[in-house]
Amino acid sequence: MDDIVKRAMAKWPNVPDCFNWLGLDRRGNWCLRDDATQALGPFPLSKGDVLEHTALIDFIARNYGKDDSGRWYFQNGPQRVFIELECTPFIWRVQIQEGFNVSVHSHTRLSSSVLNSYLDESGLLYLETDLGFGLVHSMDMWGAVEVIDQGIWRPTELLAKDLPERFGFVQSPASKSQ
């Protein structure tokens, strides 16, 4: 977490939480959901504007975390902005280097080690890593299939509806606000 965020939290400890204003889609994009977007329906039905400002995206990534009930948030100074998840808290990018060295990075640009892999009933691939649980980005599925074919990952089958409870995350924090 950024030092400036820690100082703001100490200076203003009682700022109310924010819900429904930021979403994470299944491609790892942060989606800003203003009042007009929210009026059109829940996330991801109404996604809003995809953030493109690199410094803002990096700031969100550095201050991204979860609370004890599995609700993911971005700590924006003293305010906790809870994230609507289209799918999972992480979106994994898979890269295969020469010699079949596999690396996995999150949408927040953090490297991670794969602990387990899973396939749901739709054929979506998920990774459980030392950072957390997430969906493999659709653009990286060909490489991921190669990793599976090589026997490096051996996915276990599971149902998509069981993911949040099994891996301890909340897709819509506003519905679970404390």
In order along its 178 residues, the chain shows pLDDT tens digits of: 778 777 776 776 787 899 999 999 999 999 999 999 999 999 999 999 999 999 999 999 999 999 999 999 999 988 999 999 999 999 999 999 887 899 999 999 999 999 999 999 999 999 999 999 999 999 999 999 999 999 999 999 999 999 999 999 999 998 765 5
pTM across the whole model: 0.90
What are the residue boundaries of the structural domains of the chain, listed by start?
A: 3-87+169-176, 90-167
pLDDT for res 40? 96
CATH topology of domain 3-87+169-176: duf1285 like fold (3.10.540)
Q: What is the 3-state secondary structure (H, E, C) of the chain?
A: CCHHHHHHHHHCCCCCCEEEEEEECCCCCEEECCHHHHHCCCCCCCCCEECCCHHHHHHHHHCEEECCCCEEEEEECCEEEEEEECCCCEEEEEEEECCCEEEEEECCCCEECEEEEEECCCCCEEEEECCCEEEECHHHHHHHHHHHHCCCCCCEECCHHHHHHHHCCECCHHHHCC
